[in-house]
Amino acid sequence: MKSVLSVLLLSFLALSGCSHARNEDQDGSLRTTGSITVDGSKLNYVVEGKGKPCLVIGSSVYYPKTFSKKIREHLRMYFVDMKWFAENYAPENLDAVTIGSIVDDVEEIRSKLELNTPVIMGHSIHGTIAMEYVKRYSNKASALVIIGSPPQWGNPVYDQKAAALWETASEERKGIQNENWGQANELSRLTGKEEAATGYHMASRQYWYDPGYDARWLWDGMTVHSELTKHLFTRVFANYNMFEEPFAIPTPVLVCMGKYDYVIPHTLWESKYVSIPDFTFVLFDKSGHTPQLEESELFDQRLTKWLTDKVGKRRRPRLDGESCSMAIRITEE
């Protein structure tokens, strides 16, 4: 799993710290691009679609490629860079980069974009960050969508779950992946986007339902700051357990996982959590790490139905001792 770790691993307006440009796509929908500044770093964003505002944290380059045009008919999606993907990153003391500081960055992004209780969405480690954000700022979000994200990382539970799921993979898949790991020394000569794209491709048998899928195109145009991503996975989220400390959030939560994601195994998640009274889990049977791309039509159906059911409805806080209603949805074979 060491190689997998490597993988994972407009001028400004003075008052708002934000600039943008607007244009129309071929289908006539409005598209906005721009940037905001956080601690001196320039974070680009892209806004696409219509409907309920949805803040997608992570990358303004990578993540728009993973979602369908159809979902943009239901959500106005704000794709925003985090610092590790920032085109212009202002280096900072990495010892000061913590879960708390990253969550504060997300709040600053939301505030500068003037988003009032948007849906908060994150994929992979960004979904974990999104959960940490909602723990602290539940009144700032109408709903939380987590895709392919770990509730535990860098600890024995993660290691055990990942190893156990990988044992269930086909011998063909494991054999080809082992051959790829034999070329892992290639990664030591690479940094930034090249390191991320190459490592991600080398681990394709663990990331994708289609073991031959070449996802390097997703990294085109990306900026990756390796020193920050390595810090994120090896220190910030070292020995991480999302549910180690007690918390309670009223925000409805949707967790989407792929059955063939061997890097972030779906078995890390339980079927219910007392901390989350309104919890929905969906397992996509023909997806790996990125179900919004691998099973886009089914993903869109599940997400839009969940949004219709959950977002906008008034919910009273759960009283002490009151039972919790948990919704578990598993895709059919």
pLDDT value at residue 333: 31
**Residues 141, 120 contacting (CB under 8 angstroms):** yes
User: What does CATH list as the number for 2-155+237-330?
Assistant: 3.40.50.1820
Q: How far is 33 from 144, CA to CA, in rounded Å?
A: 24
pLDDT value at residue 322: 37
Is residue 222 scored above 50 in pLDDT? yes
pLDDT tens readout for residues 156-166: 999 999 999 99
Residue 103, CA distances (Å) to 90, 100, 235, 256, 327 in order? 18, 5, 16, 21, 27
The packing angle between helices 99-112 and 125-136, to 10°, is: 80
**Residues 307, 74 contacting (CB under 8 angstroms):** yes
40 conformational bin, left if phi > 0, alpha if psi -120 to 50, beta if neither: left
**Could you tell me which residue, 20 or 96, shows the higher pLDDT?**
96
DSSP-based three-state secondary structure for 307: helix
**Could you tell me which residue, 3 or 204, shows the higher pLDDT?**
204
pTM equals 0.85
pLDDT value at residue 193: 77
Domains of the chain, residue spans: 2-155+237-330
Tokens for 105, please give them: 């960055």
Is residue 9 scored above 60 in pLDDT? no
pLDDT value at residue 38: 98
pLDDT value at residue 5: 45
pLDDT tens readout for residues 52-63: 999 999 999 999
* Length of the chain measured in residues: 333
DSSP-based three-state secondary structure for 1: coil
Q: How far is 230 from 226, CA to CA, in rounded Å?
A: 6
pLDDT value at residue 304: 97
Q: How far is 50 from 70, CA to CA, in rounded Å?
A: 11
Question: What is the band of 313 on the pLDDT scale with cuts at 50, 70, 90?
Answer: low
DSSP-based three-state secondary structure for 330: strand
Neighbours of 16 (CB within 10 A): 14
What does R_g of the chain's alpha carbons equal in angstroms?
19
Q: Whose CA is closest to 77, among 69, 85, 87?
A: 69
In this prediction, what percent of the chain has a pLDDT beyond 90?
73
Instruction: Give, rounded to a whole angstrom, the gap between the first and last alpha carbons of the chain.
Output: 29
C-alpha angle 162-166-169 in degrees, rounded to nearest 5: 155
Tokens for 34, please give them: 């721009």
Please name every residue paired with 85 in a beta bridge, in sequence order, or none if there are none: none
Provide the b/e sequence for 59-78 (b: ≥16 CB within 10 Å): bbbbbbebbeeebbebbbbb
pLDDT tens readout for residues 253-302: 999 999 999 999 999 999 899 999 999 999 999 999 999 999 999 999 99
Sheet hosting strand 253-258, strand order edge to edge? 18-24, 30-38, 41-49, 75-81, 52-58, 119-123, 143-147, 253-258, 279-284, 327-330
DSSP-based three-state secondary structure for 297: helix
